[in-house]
A and B are shown apart, each in its own frame.
Chain A
């Protein structure tokens, strides 16, 4: 039973389109994240939600809009896709925003290619 699952795994789309990625975790965690990993493998945090409340919003274009309908789900919607948005987007979760174990549980990633 997958702990953090995200769909779709692959997206190929044209510039200017809008796309969404969905994420669900069954670990009972309070905090969920979106990370972006570029072609050089840099993994950078984009957003974090704790119990449906946005707690981290890094310097991300406002074309990216996260939504957390409940603490087990975190979706990412991207408007007006650009070539530079091509990357692997990882959803992750952790036990509590104040947890200090540093253990993030990642999904398998959604590979977005913008043509």
Chain B
């Protein structure tokens, strides 16, 4: 079993839709939960960061962490074509950034 599982998609939705992206994990030592966005032919860039359980909102993006279920989500409201990218969840242990484990990434397309 992989430490982090993420549905690779692809996921295609119309502009303006609410998008839900999810990851599950098996290692209860993970304390840091992140979402990276990767545009085609580019490197990943940090989108959202959450420590432990709870919600975090940033504009149209909301990250949720449920440690009891070992499940994290990213919601995108009022999705735009510019949100079309691959979204990778990533998780870290208390030792810090170098222990990040990434999900496979979900390829998302927002259709105008």
Binding site for B on A (CB under 8 A): 4, 31, 33, 40-45, 48, 50, 55-56, 90, 92, 94, 96-109
Contacts and interface: CB of A to CB of B under 8 A. Distances in A.
Contact of B98 (A4, A40, A55, A103): A55
B41 interface: yes
B23 interface: no
Contacts of A107: 43
8 contacts: A41-B88, A43-B44, A45-B98, A90-B43, A102-B46, A103-B49, A106-B45, A108-B41
Nearest to A47: B98
A43 B97 contact: no
Interface stretch (B12-20, B71-79, B100-108): B100-108
B34 to A, nearest CB: 5
Given A41-B104, A42-B102, A109-B42, A104 B97 contact: yes
Interface size class for chain B?
20 to 34
Contacts of A50: 98
Contact of B100 (A90, A104, A105): A104
A42 B42 CA distance: 15
A102 B42 contact: no
Contacts of A40: 8, 104
A45 B86 CA distance: 18
